[in-house]
Structure 1
Amino acid sequence: MPFNPFNIVHKRRYWYIISAILIIPGLISLFFQGLNLGIHFTGGNITEIRVDQSVTTAQVREVVRNQELTDRYIQESTDGVFLIRTEVLTEQETNALLAALDEELGGMTLLRSDKVGPTIGAEIARNALIALAIAAVLMMLYIAWRFEFTKGLATIATIVHDVLVTVGIISLLQLEVDSAFVAAVLTIVGYTINATIIIFDRIRENMVLKRGMKVDQVINISVWQTLNRTVNTSLTVLFVLVPLFIFGGTTLKGFALALIIGVTAGAYSSMFLAGTLWYDIIGERRRKRLVRGEQS
């Protein structure tokens, strides 16, 4: 018998409260300030430079405004690296801005210069939402086919939980959201469903092996049996993501942070929410039939 000091299902109210504490501030942030959408969604120019001298964000902003441009976003990174986001610029305006930055800041090195039109940005945003919707529907159908519809509902609930936690924290921090963030969210969705399937598969096995045992006890045993696998897998992924976040540079920081949040939330939700949500969804009558060995 695995080490199981407490019944996870019996303490499900605590898990729901913890999830509410994680999600509600993010929802409030999304409602009042939204996401800090990057040029991949809104259109515009993004310029990344490394300045040779010690300068401040205010100095960089002054140079941009002297070119009669509107700075939507200027972020200082490490080692004198600045990320400058403006409206869509022509080639002449871009060259003029780079020349002014080089002259007035005492020398600089261009690291990146990207341009996305507003039409393309709107299309990327629409396609991202469609991709997330299709992924959710297909995964629910897969879970319903492999297990049952109620487990599919519980899986979708855990996925929504992890996505809301991730998106909410990104909104609170007002980190820039670009196309890489969409890739991170889809990765989180895949990670969550993988961890949840493993737990539901163990629950299904134990419902047969431990026939007559109460459903909450079967869920509890199943979660504790898969605990080592869930924790070890999550830690292995985090061992890669944390250095990527620290040393990956400005471009990868948002992507890596989103994955760190999502993987952590996914480990929590697969252990403490998936089985308990299914327990509440099926109701008391269904639980009694399962104890008697009836599958429907």
Structure 2
Amino acid sequence: MKTVDFMRFRHVASALSLILIVVSVASIAVRGLNFGLDFTGGTLLEVEYETPEPLDVVKRILDDAGYRDVVVQNFGSETDILVRMSEAFRDDLGNEVLGLLQESATDNKLTLLRSEFVGASVGEELRDQGGIAMLIALFVVMAYVAFRFQWKFSLGAVLALFHDVIIVIGMFALFQWEFDLNVLAALLAVIGYSLNDTIVVADRIRENFRISRVGGPIEIINESLSQTLGRTLMTSITTLLVLVALFFLGGDIIHNFALALTIGIGVGTYSSIYIAANLLLMFNISREDLLPPEVEEVDDMP
């Protein structure tokens, strides 16, 4: 098998990652995240149609009327539609929206089933819990990898995960894509996916350090990455095929979820090669770090 010289470009990769992190952090600090209804609060309406109405038509009508951050989805059946918007709740809002939709659907009979306020305090609680969940996940990852491998692998894996999450969040801040609970769930999924990829690479690096008698750390890491390259590419490509289908065909509700995962998997695959492995070189990984501890023999003779 041909060994690819991945580490030849490690300095270029380090510079690229540094630029992406700086841009991401600056975007988060300056532009902030465009939080969705789950975090900001707003209005939720449930409208029942006599016959099914295309969701894109309903959304276009409300967007053209000036309502902000409109999300339209079926709820239980094709004739039951759930409308979420960041419009401040008021008593007449439901009837106002119902009248607007009825004007555009003269051959259809509409009924307003409910109109209620979604509080921002719930969103803030969920946001805080989601952030805590990510921090706990990173801490558990660090503890597991340190126990399973070695502290240099642990620190490299966590920094790679931090790299992936910051870049995904930064892209959402830079382009002002809506950040909701679906995106938060995608970030947790990115952590799991990227960690799985990093663990596979780390396991092969550890084994090759133990069994190889020639070559330095750079050669051994290149050999390990080359051996896992086929598995990494096949996993990433098959996953991305599903996500692309969800992105284009999954509807508005799952659109940003698929987008965040697509970015995360792309960045995670890159970080498994050029962040986690590169950091091992920066930490001066050596065979001595990975040799199993010697067991002292106890002399039972008196």
- Give distance in 2, aligned partners of 1:56 and 1:44: 15
Determine helix, strand or coil for the equivalent of 2:126. helix
- Give distance in 2, aligned partners of 1:24 and 1:46: 37
- Give distance in 2, aligned partners of 1:37 and 1:47: 19
Aligned to 2:216: 214
Taking structure 1 as reference, are residues 152 and 52 closer, same or farther at Cα in structure 2, changes over 3 Å only? Answer: closer
Determine helix, strand or coil for the equivalent of 1:11. helix
Q: Is the 8 A contact 1:202 1:222 kept in 2?
A: yes
Q: Does 1:51 align with 2:50?
A: no
Determine helix, strand or coil for the equivalent of 2:7. coil
- Give distance in 2, aligned partners of 1:13 and 1:101: 58
Aligned length: 275
Aligned to 1:68: none
Q: 241-250 or 26-35: which moved more? A: 26-35
Aligned to 1:102: 101
The residue type equivalent to 2:97 in the other structure is L
Whichever of the two has the greater Rg, that structure is: 2
Deviation at 1:128, TM superposition (A): 0.5
1:1-296 matches, cutoff 5 A: 2-6=1-5, 8-45=6-43, 50-51=56-57, 57=63, 59-61=64-66, 64=67, 71=68, 73=69, 85-89=85-89, 92-103=91-102, 105=104, 115-280=117-282, 282-283=283-284, 287=286, 289=288
- Give distance in 2, aligned partners of 1:188 and 1:13: 25
The residue type equivalent to 1:232 in the other structure is M
- Give distance in 2, aligned partners of 1:3 and 1:231: 16
Deviation at 1:208, TM superposition (A): 1.3
Q: Is the 8 A contact 2:197 2:269 kept in 1?
A: yes
Q: Once superposed, what is the RMSD of the aligned Cα atoms?
A: 3.2
Taking structure 1 as reference, are residues 211 and 113 closer, same or farther at Cα in structure 2, changes over 3 Å only? Answer: farther
Deviation at 1:249, TM superposition (A): 0.6
Deviation at 1:118, TM superposition (A): 1.8
Q: Is the 8 A contact 2:35 2:178 kept in 1?
A: yes
Deviation at 1:25, TM superposition (A): 2.5
Q: Is the 8 A contact 1:199 1:223 kept in 2?
A: yes
In the superposition, the TM-score normalised over structure 2's length comes to 0.80
Percent of aligned pairs sharing the same letter = 33
- Give distance in 1, aligned partners of 2:36 and 2:44: 9
Taking structure 1 as reference, are residues 288 and 102 closer, same or farther at Cα in structure 2, changes over 3 Å only? Answer: closer
Flag structure 1 segments of 5+ consecutive residues without an equivalent.
65-70
Q: Is the 8 A contact 1:53 1:106 kept in 2?
A: no
Taking structure 1 as reference, are residues 18 and 47 closer, same or farther at Cα in structure 2, changes over 3 Å only? Answer: farther
Deviation at 1:137, TM superposition (A): 0.2
Taking structure 1 as reference, are residues 229 and 32 closer, same or farther at Cα in structure 2, changes over 3 Å only? Answer: same
Q: Is the 8 A contact 1:51 1:105 kept in 2?
A: no
Q: 169-178 or 45-54: which moved more? A: 45-54
Determine helix, strand or coil for the equivalent of 2:92. helix
Determine helix, strand or coil for the equivalent of 2:8. coil
The residue type equivalent to 2:133 in the other structure is A
The residue type equivalent to 2:128 in the other structure is R
- Give distance in 1, aligned partners of 2:165 and 2:98: 42
In the superposition, the TM-score normalised over structure 1's length comes to 0.82
Q: Is the 8 A contact 2:41 2:118 kept in 1?
A: yes
Q: Deviations over 1:24-65 (max 9, x none)?
A: 3222221111111012112222569643797694x311xx5x
Q: Is the 8 A contact 1:150 1:278 kept in 2?
A: yes
